[in-house]
Structure 1
């Protein structure tokens, strides 16, 4: 049996990987294609291909009898969790904390500003050669509610700091104190939503967040508020969102949708006040350098028998 590491990139492209000759690790490249690069039973460290379906990501797991680490290149792990039951106890699942915060926070801010300042309306006006002047909402003096205050939520607050928001309120699964102020629990949302001009979703997708932004959540938002979703599509109830946006009561900016990809003919494409980007929060020029640094560090620690970073689940 060999100690294979499955990587979605050529090992030669990643600076700082442990040398195969001295570490005992053999690097195999698999980007999710139909053919495996080697026997999955020999894989000890599996790096999940980026931007693949859950079916592809989990396909080799039942045969990975020797795997000790499953490393995602995403902040979320919902696409891998369905396959964990096939693994032996003690396998560590690690996420990509540190890779996507900057890019996702940039997009959250870009979607917020574009929606408030009317950028889609201006683009359409340019296409039609129409001068659409007037007064538009600003981010300045707005109250912003960040729902999901992990590393991405904190990075979003970093980028809001220069925009002179009236207030930034933080919400997570459980309450805690931070240097910036309190983080409220999900249970406080009914009282917090009516006060927010902008609600930004940056939660992971799990049992407690699926459908979180449902009919009652959306109904609690103030008239004219903006919902920004850079989390996962199923965090929002699409039917409930359509009802609110088609009435014109709230607007939305979505990097993720449910279903996804959004099929042609879906009413969300043309819902009034809805701006859609095609799940590109993390897929930027910042991705590869940061992903390579993460993998080099993780595999160096793994080869040395040291503790890994970003362990979110250990199978039982």
Structure 2
């Protein structure tokens, strides 16, 4: 077996690719690397890929164009050491014998932890309380309260790897979980201990709503003024998915009323301009798209992919295999 590691960014390679990963891969495959710090394009990939059985990619790796796929005569597997593979392959890859696998399950655990952190931060109004303390204000124990997380109703919009982890993480808090998804059958919902319901009903009944849908043409703008107006006073909206799923203008208008709270990791425009109104609203906590930043988990991404390649070489099932159906549900950008 011969593998090309198509990760050219020096900093990213240093983060994702410790020497131990090279040693592990070398036990069952020859290993070649693209030159760190030099551009590596889809044309470059097409020129080189013909001699390899496997290719490992990550953020910034080139797209497998039709030309690259046509020249990939030996290629049997593409392993993506990141989340969505939509920037690396198009749907035409599934018309070939090439298997595609991703470390999305590893990265999902990081985003799930960020989601629950933002739930807690918003439910306890940590940003607001910190700001009040800096102004010299102190709490009044017999008067002040927070939403809190324990015992609340949490609504999840979208069902995938991240929301599955979130469900597990929320169990110790004794929450009731509502789920809006067309991809979770009733028997699986029952097994997960969640209640399936409609989108509007979820917004009406939830104390906390967390967005986990992929960003696709179908989901873009799916959360608007109608849904946001159904949130009860004091409710919290959490978004670690994609900004475009929630209509940002409608959310800003609802937050201006001071009726609800929001903790946001994603936005319509990224980076978020420093003069954006969301940053000035006291009931909005905004962070710079950090959901996948868990350092320990990030360093496991390519290690997982090397394990996937080893499983493939031994004829075993790929744990992160991307199917055509799964691909169609991915965030395209």
Same fold (TM over 0.5): yes
Counterpart of 2:308 in 1: which secondary structure?
A: helix
In structure 2, distance between residues paired with 1:77 and 1:272: 37
**Corresponding residue for 1:211?**
221
State whether residues 159 and 184 of structure 2, in contact with CA within 8 Å, keep that contact through their aligned partners in structure 1. Answer: no
2:101 alignment partner, one of 94, 103, 107: 94
In structure 2, distance between residues paired with 1:229 and 1:203: 10
State whether residues 61 and 86 of structure 1, in contact with CA within 8 Å, keep that contact through their aligned partners in structure 2. Answer: no
The Cα of 1:220 is off from its aligned counterpart by 2.8
**Corresponding residue for 1:35?**
39
**Corresponding residue for 2:330?**
none
State whether residues 81 and 305 of structure 2, in contact with CA within 8 Å, keep that contact through their aligned partners in structure 1. Answer: no
**Corresponding residue for 1:235?**
245
Unaligned runs of 5+ in 2: 328-333
87 and 97 in structure 1: CA distance in 2 versus 1, 3 angstrom threshold: closer
1:47 alignment partner, one of 32, 56, 60: 56
**Corresponding residue for 2:80?**
72
In structure 1, distance between residues paired with 2:181 and 2:35: 35
Pairing 1:6-45 to 2, within 5 Å after superposition: 6-7=6-7, 9=13, 10=17, 12-14=19-21, 17-19=24-26, 23=29, 25-29=30-34, 34-36=38-40, 39-41=44-46, 42-43=48-49, 44=52, 45=54
Pairing 1:1-316 to 2, within 5 Å after superposition: 4-7=4-7, 9=13, 10=17, 12-14=19-21, 17-19=24-26, 23=29, 25-29=30-34, 34-36=38-40, 39-41=44-46, 42-43=48-49, 44=52, 45-50=54-59, 56-58=60-62, 61=65, 64=68, 65-66=71-72, 68-78=76-86, 80=87, 84=90, 89-90=95-96, 91-133=98-140, 134-165=144-175, 167-176=176-185, 177-178=187-188, 179-181=191-193, 184=196, 188-304=198-314, 306-314=316-324
State whether residues 246 and 272 of structure 1, in contact with CA within 8 Å, keep that contact through their aligned partners in structure 2. Answer: no
The Cα of 1:152 is off from its aligned counterpart by 1.3
Q: Pick the structure with more helix per residue.
A: 2
159 and 306 in structure 1: CA distance in 2 versus 1, 3 angstrom threshold: closer
State whether residues 98 and 290 of structure 1, in contact with CA within 8 Å, keep that contact through their aligned partners in structure 2. Answer: no
In structure 2, distance between residues paired with 1:141 and 1:155: 19
In structure 1, distance between residues paired with 2:112 and 2:124: 18
Task: Report how many residues are paired.
Answer: 301
State whether residues 103 and 286 of structure 1, in contact with CA within 8 Å, keep that contact through their aligned partners in structure 2. Answer: no
After superposition, what is the alpha-carbon deviation per residue over 1:209-265, rounded to whole angstroms, capped at 9, x for unaligned?
Answer: 222222222223223221101112222111111111112232111111111121221
The Cα of 1:144 is off from its aligned counterpart by 0.5
State whether residues 40 and 63 of structure 1, in contact with CA within 8 Å, keep that contact through their aligned partners in structure 2. Answer: no
The Cα of 1:157 is off from its aligned counterpart by 1.5
State whether residues 84 and 104 of structure 2, in contact with CA within 8 Å, keep that contact through their aligned partners in structure 1. Answer: no
249 and 92 in structure 1: CA distance in 2 versus 1, 3 angstrom threshold: farther
State whether residues 200 and 228 of structure 1, in contact with CA within 8 Å, keep that contact through their aligned partners in structure 2. Answer: yes
In structure 2, distance between residues paired with 1:311 and 1:173: 21
Counterpart of 1:14 in 2: which secondary structure?
A: helix
TM (norm. structure 2) is: 0.78
CA RMSD across the alignment: 3.0
State whether residues 15 and 292 of structure 1, in contact with CA within 8 Å, keep that contact through their aligned partners in structure 2. Answer: no
After superposition, what is the alpha-carbon deviation per residue over 1:81-138, rounded to whole angstroms, capped at 9, x for unaligned?
Answer: 7x62686832444332331233222211111111121210222234333324422222
